[in-house]
Every structure is written in C-alpha cells, then in structure tokens.
Structure 1
Amino acid sequence: MTADAACVTCGDPIAEGRRYCSNACRQRAYRERNSARGDSPSSSAVPTPLDTFVGRRAELAALARLAGERLVSLVGPAGAGKTRLAAQHAARRADRVWWTALAPASDVDQAIHHAVGAHPLPGRSAREAVIAEVGQHRRPLLVLDNCEHLLASSADAVQDLLEGCPRLRVLVTSREPLRLAGEQVFAVGELELPPADADVAEAVRHDAVVLFRDRAVSVDRSFEVDASNVADVVAVCRSLDGMPLAIELAARRVPVLSPAEIAARLNTSLAVLAGGPRSVDDRHRTLRAAIGWSYDLLPPREQAASRRLAVLGAPFDLGVASAVCGVPDALDLLTGLERKSLLVANRTGGHTTFRQLESVRLYCHERAVESDDISLVADRVVEWVCSVVEPEISSFFPAPPIVLRLDRHVGLVELAAARTAETGDWSRHALTIVATAWTSTPRGPRGAPAELLHRALSRPLPPAYRSVLAVLAAMHHRLRGGWHATRRFATESLAIERAGAGRPGTTARALEVLASAEAHIGDAALARRLFDEAAALLRDSGDKLALAIVLNSYGWTLVQHGEPEPAAPLVTEALALTRLFGLPHMLNPVLHTAGAIALARGNRAEAVEVFREGLVVGSEHPVDQYYDLEGLALALVGMGSDDERALSLLTAASAVRTRYDLRAEPYWQDLLDEARAVCRDRLPAARLRAAESTGERMSLAQAISYGLTTQPVAGDAEGAISARERHVATLVAEGLTNRQIGQRLGISPHTVARHVIHARSKLGLRSRAQLAVWAGRRAT
C-alpha cells in the first residue's frame, strides 16, 4: 500500500493498482456515473445546429481516416467552420463524446471537469478527477472547441489527459495548433469555389454557392440562383474566399440587398457581414467580431504587422513584408501570423508568397486607418520598389531575377506609382513607371501604358531617368507600329546618353530601338550602323543577354527586308546566348525570328518545330505567344497539311492583337494576309466558317494547346471513338470537371477519366485542352 493510493469513491487508503476499497464503493461509483450522465451539463452535449450542414464531404472523409489518431486539431481562420465540422464529425461517433466549449471559459481544467461530469476526489485535482472518469470508457472522445485564447493551458491539459488515459482521443478546434508531439493538424479552409465565369448549372455544384443559396432562402423564400444573379453570387463567394461564416452573413442581407449590391459593398467594408442569428455567440454574429477575437489575442508587434500588410492589398514575399513592417527580417512575424491562421502561404515554383484572406484584410485595413498606418506603408512600398529598380536603371535590360521579383509584386508597383504621383515625388515616380514597364503578367503584354510613360516624361526629371523612360516609350510605340513616335523617343534617349550619361546599357538600348525605326521609315544604311554600334558596345561590356536581344532585333530587321541569309548567323548566336542566360519570355522572340528565317528559306518542317518550341517555353507569359501561333499557322499552310488548324490559329492570334493593339510589321502582315487567302481558296465554305468560328471561340491557352498537337486529326478520326467518348469530349469542351461529368452521366469520375484518356489516345491529342478544342470544332 502506498501513501497516495486512495479509493476514488470514499478516499480510504487502498492497495496500489486498485481503484475502490470495496464492492460497495464500486457500485456507488457506478450509480453516481449513471446519474451524472442523465443530468450532464449542457456544455458536454455535441451542438446540434438548427440549419443545414453544407459540403465538407472530403473533410469529413479525411477526419474519419484519422480515427486512430490520439490528437487531431482543426485549425483555420475565423469563420472557416471549424466548430460545425467538429460537431458533424463527433456526432457520427457511437461512443462517449464530451464537448467542451472554451470560448466563454477562463480555466481549462474546470471547463473540462464540468463537461465530463467528473466527481471531485478527496485530495485530488480537477484534472485527476477527469482522468479517473474518462479512463472508465472504452473509446472516449473529448472535444475542446475554441482553444486559441487558452492555448498554453489547453496544451498542458491535453498532454496530461492523453498520457493518463491511453484510450482517449482529443479533437481540438483552434486558430493555431497546440504544438504537441503526435498532434495531427487538420487545416480547415475555404468551401469549394466555382470559376468566375460559371453558369448556373456549374455554380450550384459548388459548396460555397450552395451555402449562399441555402442561407439566402432561409431569410427570403423567393430567392434563387439564376442567370440574372449567378455572376454576382459567384463574385460574392469568391471575394469572401469561400469562408462559410462570411458567406452566411452575406446571404442574410438578401432581403434588402441584391447579390450585386452585396458584392459592391464587400470591396470596401465589413459592415455588410453582420446580423447573424441571435442563437449564436456574439463572436459569430458579425465577421468583424470573429476576426477581432483573433486580432485582440495578438501581441502588439503582430497586430502592427497585420495592419500594415493589409494595406498592400496583394500577395507579398518575405522581403516585402520586412520592408513594410520596418524590421530586418519578418520571418518570425509571418510565421506567427500564419500559425494563427491570419496569413495564407502560397508556394509555387520554389517561391513562397503570403496573403491575407479578404475578410481578414478588410478588418486589419480598418485598424490600419485608425492607427494612421496607410501613408507609412505606402511610403515604405515606394522605398522597396525604388530599391529594386535603382541598381538596374543603367542596364540594357534588368537582371532576370529582378524581373521575376517585380512580376510577383505588380500590385505593389502600382501602389508605389500612385503614391509618388499623389505626393509629387517625380524622380521616384519615374522609377516606379520603369518598374511598371519591366513587369509582365499572364493577363496582358509587357510594358507600361503610353499614358503613364508620357505623363511621367512631362515632369521634371534627372536626365538619366528621362533617358530610360524615353527609350521605354520608344519600345512601347514600336510594338504597336508607331514608327515615327518610336524614332522621336529613341532619338531623345540617345541624345541624353551621348551628352554625358555614357551608360553602355542604356546607350545600346537607344541605338537598337532607333535602328529598328530607321530601318522602317528612315535610312537602312544608318540602321545597320546603329545596330553594329549597339552590338559593339555590348560585346565590350560583356552583357551577353543584352547582346542576344540586339542581335535578334538586327536579324529580325534583316528578315523583314528580304535578307534571311545574313540574319541567320546573328540569330543563331542570339539563340545560343538566350538559352544560357534568358528568361522564357526572352527566348520567345528569338525563336520567332529563327522560325521566320526557316520560313523564308522554305524549311517549313523546321519552322513548325521552332514555333512549337516557342509555344512551350513561353507558357509562363502566354500573351507573348501570338507570334508563335501565327508562325506555326504560316508553316502549316505552306506544308498544305492542315489548313483548318492554321486558320483557327490565325484567327485566335488576331484576337490577341486586336485586344491589346499589337500591330504586325508590314512584312509579317503580308504573310498573314496571304496565308488567310490561301486557306479561303482551299477550304470549302462550311469548313472555312467552322475553322474561323473555332479560332474566335478559343481562349489563348486553348489555341496554344491546339497548336502543340503533334499530329493533325484525320478527317474520319471521329469515327474512331465511341459515342460515349464523344459525349464526354463534348462535356469537357463545356469546361466540366471529371466529377461534374460523372454526376451528369451517372458514372464515376474514374470512368470519366478513362473515357478522356481513350479519346485523346485515339485522336492523337496530348492534353485535355486539345480534346476540348477538338470537341468544340465538331459542335460548330
């Protein structure tokens, strides 16, 4: 017998390893437990909401697979639906479940003791009493809901309970993990979101829209998602990042606001996200209160970081966060905020960026306004952008890592440009416009708009900055066929460089742009001398990437003037240099020139391969690829192998040129016009209209995928696939996923995938996008 062994009923000393001193005490404990279960406190009951539970099928299945884990923590931001998911999971259990609501609690041990209904033990703590009670059950589950404000004490209690009760499982909901050994962290994020352009049939197959519809109908029985409002409902769900609480609160405004009006108000304020049911706790009646609960738990440094990062309104990396937060290294700040579900990390291409959920950002932005952080952040963003651009200002072209960094932060470049214009800081404004011109995104062509360049050049600027802006304006007009403006701006830049700036990089750039203008509207001999001077400058400076660009420009100019043979060695050298040093979108124009030389020499098969390589390497910036589509079409027409494909590609590329006002050079335009004329002569009227219609309806991504098809589809290939495979292909063309196709046809997604693979194989297609294009053509 030991001094601390006692009967759990009466407290009398007992032998080690026993729980009761007699059978009478055992029976008494049994009766007391039964009585306690009949009158268990309300906090121990699993919540049973009155409204419907929407979605989360995949999450519930994943939680079921974690049934053997001792500790699972549902972690997510405010309003993600952690409590509802935990309740839904716990309600499916047949064994004893205790639910502990910690939001109103200040003492974890007492809250658990009350929920479990454990009886006080003489000389023992509340935690020991809980262990004694829980240990009597075969497969108990303890749920601790909303631990974030009592994280340390919750972790301590869970550790002891798991060690003292070998059969116990614990399910935790919190905005950050407990960080215990063996803890399985289960992230609870957004509901499934439809694409922005989803129609009604597509939208209502996604959980976010279903939730909006369900909650809207609960307050307005006449509401339905239809063609008139589906775009706005989808916009609301997407702008709220698919967060359930936010969507519910927005939907409850339907009696007084249309979905369009709700979407408009969400851009600037959280006020619309209020008015939850009276039955829920105060934190969930408004989204501001829910997020404020998390914000108020942060230490001052993390509160300040949250406010300042919210001003950015765009994803950011560690370097930007450090600059905005005013610290040498913001790693610890970002780690803390991400752990507390106030930041979302996105990892792509080996690079990590961070963003705030829009609802979190709006809340923190309100706090930033109150704390007068807006101007501070804008000024720090300006400093960051200028620190990136200034070291590269004298280069022919900025280093590839600089371009990539600016590409990732286009939104911050725009913020810096607006701030410097607002404050009249014209020198730094010039640097932000240079940054704008250097950036490129999949949404549009590279370069700053003409109005930004012209407006910046109208301000007083240091000569070095004016020279760079002038040559960027010249490049802008060259791309759009404005040769006189190109020559005027390039001449101004070159004059500044010759007058004293003397920077090889910017001088060579001005020479190259001026040379291309002279070749088109001036002196061809002068153009050659300017090209030669630019190349010599860059060979002397050792800038091989810039040299490649000049050599390619020189070669392309010669090709346009009917001289492909002298152009070939220039472009061969440019291609070798660009493969070693360039970015994919820099390699793109060099491949185009190489393909144009192959066409001029009559090597159409070689041209096909070169232009297809251009489509592959330019995938990061697809807007650059309209030239490759056109070149590939010219080669196909010359080979006479697939006029329909060629005409579709020409039509799709023409749409890109029209959208962005990108005009082809006269030489190239003549080739395009001739190819279209050939197609119109050789194709029957019906197939001609079908090919043009296909090109008009294709997105740029679809046109690129179509162009990469390695073999033309034979005229009778449709007969090679089954009726079911043709039906599946038609649904693929409508943009449906395998799961959605399976739901429509009453088959499994696995069977759909098999039909897609078989259809592609029989038709000689390499991708799902190519199958969609093929089916779209047959539907015309």
Structure 2
Amino acid sequence: MGRREELAALGRLCAEHRLVSLVGPAGAGKTRLAVQHVSKRADQVWWTALAPAPEVAQAIYHAVGAHPLPNRSVRDAVIAEIEQHRRPLLVLDNCEHVLAEVADVVSELLACCPRLRVLVTSREPLRLAGEQVFALGELELPPVGASLAEALRYDAVLLFGDRAVSVDRSFEVDASNIADVVAVCRSLDGMPLAIELAARRITVLSPADILARLGDRLGLLTAGPRASDDRHRTLRAAIGWSYDLLSEAEQSACRRLAVLGVPFDLGVASRICDVEDALELLTSLEQKSLLVVERASGTTTFRQLESIRLYCRERAVEHGEISLVADRVVDWVCSLVEPEISSFFASPSVVLRLDRNIGLLDLAVTRSAEVGDWPRHALAIVATAWTSTPRGPRGAPTELLHRALSQPLPPPYRSVLTVLAAIHHRVRGGWHVTRTFAQESLAIERADASRPGTLARALEVLASAEAHTGNPELAWQLYDEAVELLRFSGEKLARGVLLNSYGWTLLQHGEADLAAPLVRESLTLVRLLGLPHQLNPVLHTAGAIALARKSYPEAVDLFRESLEVGSEHPMDQFYDLEGLALGLVGVGSDDERALSLLTAASAVRTRYDFRAEPYWQDLLDEARSVCRTRITAGRLRAAESTGERMSLSQAVSYALTTMPIAEDDDGVISERELHVATLVAEGLTNRQIGQRLGISPHTVARHVTHARTKLGLRSRAQLAVWAGRHTP
C-alpha cells in the first residue's frame, strides 16, 4: 500500500546499477517493496529468503534451480545457471545476519556474471564497490490537526485503515477518530509493521485506546498474522532481531542513548558512551538502521525511532544504566556551562551546543536535584536559561530559579542565578523584584572583584532596573561603570550587548540622539560576533531609534532584517513584529497587516506574561488607535482575527511576505515555502526535498501543509500545479 514514489525511484536505481541494497529499520516494509518491484519485471527473477538459510551459497543454489556439476563447487553451478539468462535478477532477502557471507558471494557472482543484477534487502548495506543504497524509512505522515480528507491522502493512515478493516469489517476511519488515528501513526514514526500491528488491535480497542497504550507498545503490538515469520509476529521480536546482531559495544551504545529520549549530537554521544569519539559507533548504528540522522542549519543530530528507543531502554533498565546515563548528562552540561559563568554571558558556540541538545537539559535539572547536588543543579538551570526553542521563550521558569536560590550555593553560582532571576522578572515588568535580585548579584561580584564580565553583567541589569524605578541618574552611572569594565576586557560581543541595553534605556527616557552612536557601535560588534538571537534586540533598538526620528522606511527595513536573521527562533521576535507594525503604521502603507501583527504579538505577551516598557506600550497603544481610525469596521475585525489565529512563526512568515506571490491568489507563502513548492513540482518526495535543503522530512511536510493552507489548495498535486504556474 502506498510507496508509489519509492517504488518508482527503486525501479530507476535498479535499471541503472547492478547491485542495489534496499535498507531500512525493522518493519519498514523492505521485503514488500522488493516483491512489488520484481512483480513488474518480465525477465528472470530468483527470490532467495535468507532469514532461515544456514548457508548463503546453498540457498542461492536452490533458488536459481542450479544443477550439480561434476567436480565443481556449488558456486560454479550457480554461475553456470545464471549465465544461461539474458537479464537475470537475483533478490537476496533479509541479509543482515549473514552480511559478510552475502557480500563475499555477491562480489563473486557479479564479477563472473556480467549480465546479472542483484537486489538485496537488509537492515544495513553490504559495503561493496559499486553498491547503491536505497534507504527505506517511514511512511509519509499527516500533520497534527489534519482534516479527515487531508489525512486520508497519507499512506500511513490508509495502511492503518486497511489493516483495521481486514480484522473488523465494521471499522471506518472517520471524523470521530481521525485525530487519534493520525496520533497513533505519528507516535509509531510511520513504520508499517508497527502500524499494522496496532491496527490489528482494533477488534478490542478503539484508536483512542490504542493511542493511550502506546507507552507500552512493545507489549501491545504482538498480534501479527500467523503466516508471518517469527521476527514479524511482534514489534519486540522485530527490533530484538536487529539488537541481537549488534556487537557488545553497539548494544551498549543503543541502550545508553535510548535513556536520553531526545535528539543528541556527536559530542553528547561520545560522553554517554564513554568513548573519545563516537563517530564510528554512530555511523555503524545508522548503517544498521538503528539511528536516524537529521541535518538542519549546518548541524547534525541523531535520534532513535521511538519503538527502537523503548526496546533499548528496557535493556538499559535490565543493565542498571539509567542513573549512569543521567549522571553523564549532568557531567556534559556542567562541562559546558561552568567555564562560562565568569563571563558576561555564554559564548555563542556554547549556546549553539546547548540549543542543539536542549532536550537533555530537563534530565540534567531533574537528576542533579534528585541527588541533592545543588551547585551542579544551578549550572543545569543556567543552561536552561541560555537556551531557546521555536516553541518556547528563552529563560528558566520562575519556580525553578527561586527554588534553586533557596539552596546553599557557592557565591559565583548564586550570582549567576540571581542575575538570571533579575532578567526573568525584567521581561515581565517586575522592576522592583528585578532591582532586588540585581543588587544581590552586584554585592557578590563587588565582594570578589575578580570577574569583570559578571560584575558588568550585574551592573547592566541593575542599571536598567534603576532607570525604571525612578533613579535614571544612578542608572547612567552604573551603565558607564559597566562600559568601562568591558572596554579593555576583550569581551567585544559583551560590550556590544551592553551598549545596546544602554541605548535602549536612554531611548526610553527621550534620549534618542545619545542612544544612536551607542547602538551603531553595538550593531557593528554583534553583527560581527554574535548569534541571530543576540542581533535581534540590537536591530530592534536601531529600529526604535528610527521610529523616534520618524524615519519610518528605515525602521521597516531594520525590523524586517531582525525578523529574517532570527527566523529559526521566533520566540525572540515578538518585539520585532511590534516594531515592524509601528513602522508600517508610520509609513501608512499597510494598516491591516500592522494590526494583525500587533494582535499576534500581543497574544505572545499575554501567554508568557511579557510586559512592554511604558515607553513602548504607549507607542503600541497609539498605533492601534491610528489603525482603528483608518480601517473600516469589517476589515478591522478581519485584521484582528487574522492576528489572533496565527502562531508566532506564522506571524513572522506573514510579516516577511511583502505581497502575494500571484495576483489571483489570496494566500501568501514564505520564500522557503515557495522553494519547497517548486521542488514538489519537480516530483521530489519530502525525503528528497529534505536532503536537498538540509532539513528533516517532517519539516518539509510542515512547509507543504502551510503553503497549501495559505493558498487554499486541497492536495499536493494542486500545489505542484500552482508552483509550476507561478515560478520561472
């Protein structure tokens, strides 16, 4: 069922190359795809099932119907039989347990039989010269929240429905259960065997019941057909077959990495597996279809399919490795954070490492608290505060910060936590609480006086609090002291961030001309040395200065740039949406778009209790009033409704789209969505598009869905047609 694109691609590959290995994880459907491929061939095909075969050459001998030759070997007899056919194809199914022997035999057969072609199915390739590897992964999955009509266009959902009906003729995938069916398929990573076994439970469980029990999927998914071989009767057996073929080191790695439960990078894997460099280990597991490699934004991470992870985690429990792995995660987090806490803030490379492995931080926080290691607990919280995800704001939760501060801590650790607590309350408008925490951090730093970076950090936060609690003169003194500390410290990026804070605070007190040169210098330094999320606030301040000077086109350009450079972390960008809206209102070019952006940003502020400074809030209120006087009542409500419905990432995409792609389409799509649409029009699969763009297939699917939704298109085919009409 399905796999049409894969079937066509496999056919092209087999037509061009003599040796093709069809590889994939347990239950991906390798054998079925191979069967479907060879059923379309008119030439001689020999099928050799190697799962039960004790000796490879002998199994091939019987499969090809060879005859014994006097004083000649079995292999000679096989070669003689093959040579009698014009375009023979030999299929060797399930080779992973006899890989070396298969490689030896295949190498000889290909050398002696120039017309022979070989198709291998295995969980890892043969690694022979000239071998072409065709990786078979999960079925394409519908997005969360897909409608019934949309979901039924995806092979995973169709497979679930077909197999459920095969055991219960009364079952139907309909509007009442589609959300649960989609969730089941997504939870099972789109793997055909797992979906089939889940669907067979429909005789006694509803889709909602199946979904609720997937935490114990290895116990639940055990009802394979009696005609199946033992490896495919249960999900546990299918995964266990692969696990048992691993070396001791590979088994250990699988178990320990399964405890993580989240994607991880090479450095983390090396620490968890207790090896200097885990590259070869991870490469081997990936080739055995036990790891998934994901590449995005120039970085590589690894993950296990959830069913494989749960199986390996069971083995980790049996080996008593859960606490061991948790302790090594704490070690890894602390090794990154501790060298940085004496600086103004963490270096960009450390923040990127933590962002890439953000899922590990909760484990480090929990484990360090569990064993009462409060200094390392503090470091884990600091790591949390430095990171961000596309769905959540940067910073540690209030209760986590306050609870940690109630524990005994070394002064440097307490200082960094108190300043983080001050920053946490600053973005929520709690200026008096901000001032209290910042004063404590400053007292610790002045008592030590050996860490200019952290002293400047405490001064900066306290200065901003003093400016907002009625003492701006003291604020300017504190800022000047901090700037002087960093003048010769070598922390140029820290100086850039500090100057921006100084400029933003001056601007709010009506000093745009004093702020401008500080922000220009800040922009130069942060552009050169900083991360996108560090550039966002500087561009924002520069845009706000342009607004104050009524240079509205310049402001629009600056806020647009800020949105573009930080698009991977939209949670850093609600301020930029507001700034762009203010610029648009000033220009008078697009009041409806401006109001939608203001509404979307306001929803973020409400959700996370981010309160605008009085200066900025006055600008926002004035802009809304202007929009309401210039937009008709009907269009006013429509603009507000658009903003209310958009997620933050959708609002960023909307903000960056200056006009519809085509005059006859009401929808607007981002440049990335347009690029994806053109590749869909070329006939590429989500996996192929992901490989070309360096993003995951799931991210491609999301871009496709967003583009179709915005353009009002019902299918992938319609999107392809649309892209063909609207791109050169």
- Using the size of structure 1 for normalisation, the TM-score is 0.86
Name the structure 2 match of 1:426. Answer: 374
**For 1:340 and 1:436, how far apart are their aligned partners in 2?**
34
Q: Deviation at 1:517?
A: 0.6
In structure 2, relative to structure 1, the CA distance for the partners of 1:303 and 1:589 (3 Å cut) is same
Q: Does 1:290 align with 2:260?
A: no
Deviations 1:5-58 (A, max 9, x none): xxxxxxxxxxxxxxxxxxxxxxxxxxxxxxxxxxxxxxxxxxxxxxxxx11101
Q: Does 1:447 align with 2:395?
A: yes
Q: 1:617 aligns with which of 544, 552, 565?
A: 565
Q: Deviation at 1:207?
A: 0.7
Residues 625-664 of structure 1: pairs in structure 2 closer than 5 A: 625-664=573-612
Q: 2:353 aligns with which of 405, 408, 411?
A: 405
Deviations 1:246-297 (A, max 9, x none): 1111111122222223223223542112110000001001111011111111
**For 1:383 and 1:334, how far apart are their aligned partners in 2?**
21
In structure 2, relative to structure 1, the CA distance for the partners of 1:734 and 1:290 (3 Å cut) is closer
Q: In the alignment, is the contact (CA less than 8 A) between 2:539 and 2:558 conserved in 1?
A: yes
Q: Does 1:379 align with 2:327?
A: yes
Residues 19-168 of structure 1: pairs in structure 2 closer than 5 A: 54-66=1-13, 67-168=15-116
Q: Tell me the secondary structure at the aligned position of residue 94 of structure 1.
A: coil
**For 1:704 and 1:160, how far apart are their aligned partners in 2?**
58
Q: Deviation at 1:428?
A: 0.6
Q: Does 1:680 align with 2:628?
A: yes
Q: Tell me the secondary structure at the aligned position of residue 267 of structure 1.
A: helix
In structure 2, relative to structure 1, the CA distance for the partners of 1:740 and 1:389 (3 Å cut) is closer
Name the structure 1 match of 2:462. Answer: 514
Q: In the alignment, is the contact (CA less than 8 A) between 1:645 and 1:691 conserved in 2?
A: yes
Q: In the alignment, is the contact (CA less than 8 A) between 2:189 and 2:306 conserved in 1?
A: yes
**For 2:713 and 2:543, how far apart are their aligned partners in 1?**
46
Name the structure 2 match of 1:21. Answer: none
Q: Deviation at 1:619?
A: 0.9
Q: Deviation at 1:615?
A: 0.9
Q: Deviation at 1:699?
A: 2.4
In structure 2, relative to structure 1, the CA distance for the partners of 1:595 and 1:291 (3 Å cut) is same
Name the structure 1 match of 2:723. Answer: 753
Q: In the alignment, is the contact (CA less than 8 A) between 2:255 and 2:313 conserved in 1?
A: yes
Q: In the alignment, is the contact (CA less than 8 A) between 2:593 and 2:639 conserved in 1?
A: yes
Deviations 1:489-536 (A, max 9, x none): 111111111112531111111110111111011311111111111111
Q: Does 1:468 align with 2:401?
A: no
Q: Tell me the secondary structure at the aligned position of residue 179 of structure 1.
A: coil
**For 2:287 and 2:582, how far apart are their aligned partners in 1?**
54
**For 2:17 and 2:117, how far apart are their aligned partners in 1?**
7
**For 2:533 and 2:704, how far apart are their aligned partners in 1?**
30
**For 1:743 and 1:662, how far apart are their aligned partners in 2?**
36
Name the structure 2 match of 1:582. Answer: 530
**Sequence identity percentage:** 74
Q: Does 1:548 align with 2:496?
A: yes
Q: Does 1:567 align with 2:515?
A: yes
**For 2:713 and 2:537, how far apart are their aligned partners in 1?**
44
Q: Tell me the secondary structure at the aligned position of residue 329 of structure 1.
A: coil
Q: Tell me the secondary structure at the aligned position of residue 252 of structure 1.
A: helix
**For 2:599 and 2:26, how far apart are their aligned partners in 1?**
48
Q: Tell me the secondary structure at the aligned position of residue 550 of structure 2.
A: coil
Deviations 1:674-716 (A, max 9, x none): 11111111211111111111111222223222222346x7xxx
In structure 2, relative to structure 1, the CA distance for the partners of 1:581 and 1:734 (3 Å cut) is closer
Q: 2:482 aligns with which of 520, 534, 538?
A: 534
RCO higher in structure (CA 8 A, sep ≥6): 2
Q: In the alignment, is the contact (CA less than 8 A) between 1:278 and 1:285 conserved in 2?
A: yes
Q: In the alignment, is the contact (CA less than 8 A) between 2:668 and 2:710 conserved in 1?
A: no
Q: Deviation at 1:165?
A: 1.6
Q: In the alignment, is the contact (CA less than 8 A) between 1:728 and 1:755 conserved in 2?
A: no
**For 1:268 and 1:404, how far apart are their aligned partners in 2?**
34
Q: In the alignment, is the contact (CA less than 8 A) between 1:274 and 1:287 conserved in 2?
A: yes
Q: In the alignment, is the contact (CA less than 8 A) between 1:647 and 1:676 conserved in 2?
A: yes
Q: Which amino acid aligns with 1:753?
A: A
Q: Deviation at 1:740?
A: 13
**For 2:626 and 2:120, how far apart are their aligned partners in 1?**
69
Name the structure 1 match of 2:305. Answer: 357
Q: Which amino acid aligns with 2:133?
A: V
**For 2:491 and 2:726, how far apart are their aligned partners in 1?**
48
Q: In the alignment, is the contact (CA less than 8 A) between 1:739 and 1:748 conserved in 2?
A: no
Q: In the alignment, is the contact (CA less than 8 A) between 1:176 and 1:341 conserved in 2?
A: yes
Q: Tell me the secondary structure at the aligned position of residue 493 of structure 2.
A: helix
Q: In the alignment, is the contact (CA less than 8 A) between 1:728 and 1:752 conserved in 2?
A: no
Name the structure 1 match of 2:685. Answer: none
Residues 95-244 of structure 1: pairs in structure 2 closer than 5 A: 95-244=43-192
- Using the size of structure 2 for normalisation, the TM-score is 0.92
Deviations 1:530-575 (A, max 9, x none): 1111111111212111111111111111111111111111111111
Aligned-residue RMSD, C-alpha: 2.2
In structure 2, relative to structure 1, the CA distance for the partners of 1:743 and 1:464 (3 Å cut) is closer
**For 1:386 and 1:707, how far apart are their aligned partners in 2?**
39
Q: Deviation at 1:379?
A: 0.6
**For 1:751 and 1:526, how far apart are their aligned partners in 2?**
64
**For 1:132 and 1:241, how far apart are their aligned partners in 2?**
45
Structure 1 residues without counterparts, runs of 5 or longer: 1-53, 759-780
Q: Tell me the secondary structure at the aligned position of residue 105 of structure 1.
A: coil
Q: In the alignment, is the contact (CA less than 8 A) between 2:143 and 2:705 conserved in 1?
A: no
Q: Which amino acid aligns with 1:119?
A: H
Deviations 1:285-313 (A, max 9, x none): 11110111111111111111110010011
Larger of the two Rg values belongs to structure: 1
Q: Deviation at 1:741?
A: 9.1
Q: In the alignment, is the contact (CA less than 8 A) between 2:23 and 2:122 conserved in 1?
A: yes
In structure 2, relative to structure 1, the CA distance for the partners of 1:95 and 1:754 (3 Å cut) is closer
Q: Which amino acid aligns with 2:722?
A: V
Q: In the alignment, is the contact (CA less than 8 A) between 2:708 and 2:716 conserved in 1?
A: no
649-658 vs 217-226, which deviates more?
A: 217-226
Q: Deviation at 1:737?
A: 6.1
Name the structure 1 match of 2:541. Answer: 593
Q: Which amino acid aligns with 1:190?
A: E
Deviations 1:597-652 (A, max 9, x none): 11111111111111111111111211111111111111211222221111111111
Q: Tell me the secondary structure at the aligned position of residue 671 of structure 1.
A: helix
Q: In the alignment, is the contact (CA less than 8 A) between 1:607 and 1:632 conserved in 2?
A: yes
**For 1:227 and 1:480, how far apart are their aligned partners in 2?**
42
Q: Deviation at 1:738?
A: 6.5
Name the structure 1 match of 2:252. Answer: 304
**For 1:224 and 1:488, how far apart are their aligned partners in 2?**
61
Q: Tell me the secondary structure at the aligned position of residue 341 of structure 1.
A: coil
Q: In the alignment, is the contact (CA less than 8 A) between 2:87 and 2:115 conserved in 1?
A: yes
Deviations 1:461-482 (A, max 9, x none): 1111011000000000001111
Deviations 1:173-223 (A, max 9, x none): 001111111111110111111112212111111111111111111122222
Q: Tell me the secondary structure at the aligned position of residue 90 of structure 2.
A: strand
Structure 2 residues without counterparts, runs of 5 or longer: 678-702
In structure 2, relative to structure 1, the CA distance for the partners of 1:687 and 1:145 (3 Å cut) is same
